[in-house]
Structure 1
């Protein structure tokens, strides 16, 4: 095949049509490119996107063109499954299924075709690329990495090459996913306290037959991803369906069908909270009245000025730091006075402090013999509440309980100040075999970050409720190279974990979205000792010759400024 004919073949493999536009864009040989589309941008319920149009295999195509066409047909499969079937032999078509995880690779991939032999009727082709992620059947996005390859066997029929066997699932490129999927936050309810919404991040495929608002709410009616199974619940009773979603000048009208208790005001408020945040946090219907109907009858109305306490952490503006074992308030101008009670007095051997939330916070500290707690009041005295020489630094849950992991005995302990005793909590069996050195509960009271060994961070969840609470759903979040060390972690918000790592080349501070692994690096100038965070506020301490200075990250996340020049160690923020 000549260069010109090969180019024409590649150009014809696929096209991206901008929905709402008047024409189509031909895909270049090196893969799809993004076409800006402003059509539909004024619709508060939709998201503009490009639709992939694939064409059937052509008789003149070689093995490489057929494989590239097959991949384009996979990208278009959700909109038109008939094209992909044409690339397969009848036997392969009968066995193949689209079910299973979606494999995502980089845009630039190689199709390796062996030299043809005379009278050969089949060809073994290998597709090689770089592995990026899996989109699981529960819509969770799991990043991965490294080289990736897949062999294909093609047979030559009178009508052209056909694939004789295809592994289950779809193979998409990074551009395919960017074009057809949207990162989406869904909101479920904390199972244990049922006073807080918990975010579940998914990748949803845009549907040409419905608005994005309907796609989001339809998925909200389904169970959460595996990461939150057993840890969250929902206000939607079984059997509820989305009948229609309409938008007016100032409102969005959602019509449900099914059985809803019109007298349960708590369930009504929770349902509004789930819908409001699942739409508005994804920039859908923001600033509009949301009217919810059931079988055409008015059920409840959510207004833009509604006070939303479903994401409230009760953290306020409280910030602290530690100097010579004494806890101090942090003010807008810098260092403040010591806190009331024993926690504000200098103590040797007290470290790894943690602060609870609420109007009457407690301070916890790790010592050589266990975990001690003191109230922030003049009469507040240190009291050892958990004993053990190999405990992780304490962490507070939003329900007021204190947690630590006993590495010597392989036991997760929960101390409830109201009960006055520490109780064991069930953990996955594999945790007993790992060196657990940090255990941090997120402010949603559900997600947990666990560091094991020197260089691995896992994310889990507190599942169940009451006496049945246990740690589960552990999944790898990140790991550093051998020889590097994770120095500290801090929850910035319910979705993002800050990970401070020390390597031979220096330090890195990464903000990682625990839902999909998206990572953003934070620039560093000084060598940090520890880090604390709450939403826009990120604090760290730096050891200097003159003492320990406390620094704060700028709102643009690019620079650090000094808050306390010296005597400003170990910053603290409630929870996290």
Structure 2
């Protein structure tokens, strides 16, 4: 999988593509979109969302004398107009149904469908179908009963028409992939020090920047208080669209009543906008106009380069691609094909460490002793008086993890009754227990924490009953953990085999290693919210895979570890096998 596809962060919420794209496209056509739903079935919208080489689709209207099955088939086909439009689809409905049809209420995306069957009531069965809400949030797979669509037809002027269409936009998955790409909305953590990305989708073309801004203005999703925040005042709206000139300058005109904003708040708001809009390849810099007044930053600048927010992006905290690991239980670091001993205290002879994690700044490390009973922290290099500190003890400590601000996490498996531990990395105080519903007290075999500190990922259970769960972390502005929301189980049951390991594939997608046969393993990707990654994901087999090494920074390679090799799973190095040279416990920072 190419690095730019990894930058796309996986295909998340595929069906949300239409929901969100219609919001932007209809706005571009000067149609006001209400807050109650982003889809408006009003005419043909401009064709600027079409990707290069993707043909337009002009659906056929109803054929005179068409039978019930033909009408249903034509209706489903008409919802795949390109540019996006529901005008032709409405022609297949009775007048009453046309007036009451609300496709904005949800979206159903499917891999395939059966031919229409029946007489007075027509049925169509969908396969591999998912449901998404009006905001584009993934709401799970359709069960077999819900995947059967039923249509009642009536006569209108001697022609069959659909009287009760489902209040959903029903489209085939393959329709989306050439026309839309994933993106992230960037909010801030409660301390205002790092971005927290949330997945969305955006059309390819001139509407992309507008869609991203409109989605960002909606703010964090309900229920994420304490997990993330926005510095964009509530009530702001985008005036029409975001024009981008030939020099790559995007002008964001916002309107609405806002309280006075400090220089810091203004800078953080513009950073959110710029870092989010950089995902439109046309946009190189951003200007913000608020109620007709051009905002100026400290120093008088009236434009911000899109790369300005890079200092807030924890996902790419270490762009060097340095790998860390253990050689004979001692800390080593370097490129994948040449890791050397460091000169810090954790690299001294006799350490006998079994796992390690390195802080985002590369200056500190946390390591578990060979017997799994103690967690030690210390500097990665010499030249400091900081000693090795004993931070935690337990029966069976898993590999630790670091997040932004130097927070340290670990799990004591405790005989199948896991205890989750956390604390400030720079402190000498012991880590403290924190309750993670769905993880604490379970049989946990692996835990990851996102670099921004907002997500905990864990493998829970053993054998074929193992599950992958994700929980969100709420914290205070001074970095105290307030609570952890109950963990959600991700839908990995469609992939056979025991889950062996999980690693970051991007900041919003995970790579999952499974054993699928004698000596054969498979690596697949899944969105961190449970959505399928589709064409932007990865699916490959590895002989003898034991574990994974991944990073939320998509510019870094994803590796599978075998008994004696590192296997590069990125397209640039696909098939490349590097000798491990006795090194174990490979990891990136974090």
TM-score (norm 2): 0.75
TM-aligned CA distance change 1:568 to 1:393, over 3 Å: closer
- 1:249 maps to 2:238: no
Q: Residue 573 of structure 1 aligns with which residue?
A: 588
- 1:126 maps to 2:134: no
Q: Distance in 1 between matches of 2:470 and 2:54?
A: 32
Q: Residue 31 of structure 1 aligns with which residue?
A: none
Q: Distance in 1 between matches of 2:568 and 2:80?
A: 45
Q: Distance in 1 between matches of 2:67 and 2:570?
A: 56
Which of 185, 210, 216 aligns to 1:220? It is 216
Q: Residue 448 of structure 1 aligns with which residue?
A: 456
TM-aligned CA distance change 1:302 to 1:94, over 3 Å: closer
TM-aligned CA distance change 1:563 to 1:239, over 3 Å: same
Q: Distance in 1 between matches of 2:481 and 2:237?
A: 31
Q: Distance in 1 between matches of 2:305 and 2:472?
A: 32
Q: Distance in 1 between matches of 2:471 and 2:455?
A: 6
Comparing 381-390 and 269-278, the one that deviates more: 381-390
After TM superposition, the runs of 4+ consecutive aligned structure 1 residues lying more than 6 A away are: 46-51
Q: Residue 392 of structure 2 aligns with which residue?
A: 386
* Contact persistence 1:508–1:521 (CA under 8 A): no
Q: Residue 184 of structure 1 aligns with which residue?
A: 183
Question: Helix, strand or coil for the counterpart of 2:211?
Answer: helix
Q: Distance in 2 between matches of 1:556 and 1:143?
A: 33
TM-aligned CA distance change 1:88 to 1:550, over 3 Å: closer
Q: Distance in 1 between matches of 2:203 and 2:332?
A: 49
Q: Residue 33 of structure 1 aligns with which residue?
A: none
Unaligned residue ranges in structure 2 (runs of 5+) = 1-24, 26-45, 297-302
Aligned residue runs from structure 1 range 374-413, under 5 A:
374-377=378-381, 382-408=388-414, 409=417, 411-413=419-421
Which of 473, 485, 488 aligns to 2:501? It is 488
In the TM superposition, residue 462 of structure 1 has moved relative to its aligned partner by 1.5
- 1:500 maps to 2:513: yes
* Contact persistence 1:200–1:228 (CA under 8 A): no
Q: Report the number of matched residues.
A: 516
Q: Residue 423 of structure 1 aligns with which residue?
A: 432
Which of 296, 301, 304 aligns to 1:302? It is 304
Comparing 90-99 and 407-416, the one that deviates more: 90-99
Question: Helix, strand or coil for the counterpart of 1:362?
Answer: strand
TM-aligned CA distance change 1:39 to 1:136, over 3 Å: closer
In the TM superposition, residue 168 of structure 1 has moved relative to its aligned partner by 2.8
Question: Helix, strand or coil for the counterpart of 1:186?
Answer: strand
Aligned residue runs from structure 1 range 63-462, under 5 A:
63-75=68-80, 84=89, 87-88=92-93, 96-106=101-111, 108-114=112-118, 123-141=120-138, 144=141, 148-156=147-155, 159-178=158-177, 181-191=180-190, 193-204=191-202, 211-225=207-221, 230-244=226-240, 245-250=242-247, 251-259=249-257, 264-285=262-283, 287=284, 289-300=285-296, 301-303=303-305, 306=308, 308-312=310-314, 313-315=316-318, 317=320, 318-331=322-335, 334-348=338-352, 350-358=353-361, 360-365=363-368, 367-377=371-381, 382-408=388-414, 409=417, 411-417=419-425, 418=427, 420-428=429-437, 430-431=438-439, 434-454=442-462, 455-462=466-473
Deviations 1:60-95 (A, max 9, x none): 110111111222344459966565555445776677
TM-aligned CA distance change 1:175 to 1:338, over 3 Å: closer
Q: Residue 17 of structure 2 aligns with which residue?
A: none
TM-score (norm 1): 0.77
Question: Helix, strand or coil for the counterpart of 2:562?
Answer: strand
Q: Residue 482 of structure 2 aligns with which residue?
A: 469
Deviations 1:214-239 (A, max 9, x none): 22211110134579665221121112
Q: Distance in 2 between matches of 1:458 and 1:175?
A: 28
Structure with more relative contact order (C-alpha pairs < 8 Å, separation 6 or more): 2
Q: Distance in 1 between matches of 2:338 and 2:199?
A: 37
Indicate the RMSD between aligned Cα atoms, in angstroms.
3.8
In the TM superposition, residue 573 of structure 1 has moved relative to its aligned partner by 1.6
Q: Residue 532 of structure 1 aligns with which residue?
A: 549
Comparing 373-382 and 244-253, the one that deviates more: 373-382
Question: Helix, strand or coil for the counterpart of 1:440?
Answer: strand
Question: Helix, strand or coil for the counterpart of 1:537?
Answer: coil
Question: Helix, strand or coil for the counterpart of 2:243?
Answer: strand
Unaligned residue ranges in structure 1 (runs of 5+) = 1-18, 20-37, 115-121
TM-aligned CA distance change 1:415 to 1:109, over 3 Å: same
Which of structures 1 and 2 has the bigger CA Rg? Answer: 1
- 1:558 maps to 2:574: yes
In the TM superposition, residue 153 of structure 1 has moved relative to its aligned partner by 3.0
Q: Distance in 2 between matches of 1:399 and 1:303?
A: 25
Q: Distance in 2 between matches of 1:157 and 1:261?
A: 55
